[in-house]
Amino acid sequence: MSLELIEVSKSYRLSGQSLFRAKREMAVMNVSCSLEEGRTLGIVGSSGSGKSTLGKLIVGLVKPDAGDIRYKGESLLRPQARQRLFSELQMVFQDSRSAVNSRMTIKDIVAEPIQHRERLTSSQLTKRVGDLLTAVELRPEEMNGYPHQISGGQLQRVCIARALAAKPRLIVWDEAISSLDAMTQWQMIQLLQRLQKEYAMSYVFITHNLQAVRHLADELIVMSRGAVVEHLQDAKHLDQLRHPESQRLVQAMLTSYRST
Ligand SMILES: Nc1ncnc2c1ncn2[C@@H]1O[C@H](COP(=O)(O)OP(=O)(O)OP(=O)(O)O)[C@@H](O)[C@H]1O
Ligand SMILES: [Mg+2]
């Protein structure tokens, strides 16, 4: 088993509450799920259902209050394992503009994770960044530009190249393609599928887009108010979703299709 979450919970202090008698809100509640190597777990659910928090728990951006997160058989809650395995777990977010430093060149943005782990000569680094940009279907020459000089879709590709630079084994995509137009989303789905095969990675794919999930995910979990309310073994069969929350999501998708 590549990734295993065992009864994981995470709460946040409600804003405006005092430190001492604060009420807490459960963002993720007793979630158990697992993901085999090379496979994709889709996560859907309405806004605020805990999807991003779950993604951040997986890559170690937030710590659980309870439960265990195991990766390659080791608990990521143990600092030693975390330190060793952390770079294998990457997360790509929806808002690429705020995820990058606008004063850095594309080259420096993509090169940063490489420089953390390897000592390369300047020409080796340029070659590596060029290869990564090619892998995400950008031209290597783009590396000399700045984020504001490229489109949202291109910048999202830069963020993917940056995630790949860390040589990840698992990537959490948090609405990573949601803000792009339908055509670009479709191209990105194909790109993500190709990269998954080429780099032999596992994916956790968080989205509101059930169509994208059908294409990309093997399994699917539906979240509601922090909990997993349904687990579909085969994400291709959305018609097998039974929970009222799942059916609401399907209805919302159908309605938005009819109105477009
Ligand atoms: N850093 C934080 N501090 C306080 N509360 C938070 C924090 N992050 C998330 N929450 C709360 O936890 C709950 C789950 O949030 P989360 O962002 O995981 O939902 P989500 O399913 O990703 O929603 P969306 O689809 O809108 O992105 C929400 O009620 C949210 O307000
Ligand atoms: Mg979210």
Confidence check: pLDDT of 260 > 60: no
The phi-psi region of residue 175 (left if phi > 0; otherwise alpha if psi is between -120 and 50; otherwise beta) is left
Structure tokens at 118: 């390897």
Q: Which residues line ligand 1 (CB under 6 A)?
A: 12, 25, 27, 45, 47-53
In the structure, ligand 2 is a single-atom ion and the residues with CB under 5 Å from it are 52
pLDDT score for 33: 96
Q: pLDDT tens digits, residue range 11-57?
A: 998 776 566 666 788 999 999 999 999 999 999 999 999 999 999 99
Q: Quick one: pLDDT band at residue 259, thresholds 50, 70, 90?
A: low
Residue 167 structural domain: 3-258
| pLDDT for residue 19 | 62
Q: Give the count of domains, the chain.
A: 1
pLDDT for residue 100: 92
Nearest CA to ligand 1 atom 1: 12
Backbone angles phi, psi at 152, to 5 degrees: -60, -40
pLDDT in tens, 103-126: 999 999 999 999 988 899 999 999
E strand segments, the chain? 3-13, 24-35, 40-45, 66-71, 74-75, 89-92, 170-174, 202-206, 219-224, 227-232
What pLDDT, on the 0 to 100 scale, is given for residue 211? 87
Mean pLDDT of 217-229: 96
The CATH number for 233's domain is: 3.40.50.300
pLDDT band at residue 220 under the 50/70/90 scheme: very high
At residue 21, the pLDDT reads 65
Between CA 12 and CA 62 the distance in angstroms is 11
Arithmetic mean of pLDDT, 204-225 = 93
What span, in angstroms and rounded, lies between the C-alpha atoms of 160 and 163?
5
Atom of ligand 1 nearest to the CA of 175: 27
**How much distance in Å is there from the Cα of 203 to the middle of ligand 2?**
16
CA-derived radius of gyration, the chain: 19
Average pLDDT (230-253) is 91
CA distance 87 to 113: 9
**What average pLDDT does the chain have?**
92
Query: What integer is the mean pLDDT of 198-219?
Result: 93
Where does the pLDDT of residue 258 fall: very low under 50, low under 70, confident under 90, or very high at 90 and above?
low
Sheet holding 202-206, edge to edge: 89-92, 170-174, 202-206, 40-45, 219-224, 227-232
Among residues of the chain, what percentage have pLDDT more than 90?
A: 76
- Output the pLDDT for position 203: 97
Q: Which of 237, 236, 206 is nearest to 222 (CA)?
A: 206
Distance 12 CA to ligand 1 centre (A): 9
Summarize the confidence of residues 51-66 as an average pLDDT. 96
| C-alpha torsion sign, points 22, 26, 32, 37 | negative
pLDDT at residue 257 greater than cutoff 70: no
Comparing 53-67, 86-100, 224-238, the range with the smallest average pLDDT is 86-100
52 Cα–ligand 2 center, Å: 4
| pLDDT range class, residue 222, cuts 50, 70, 90 | very high
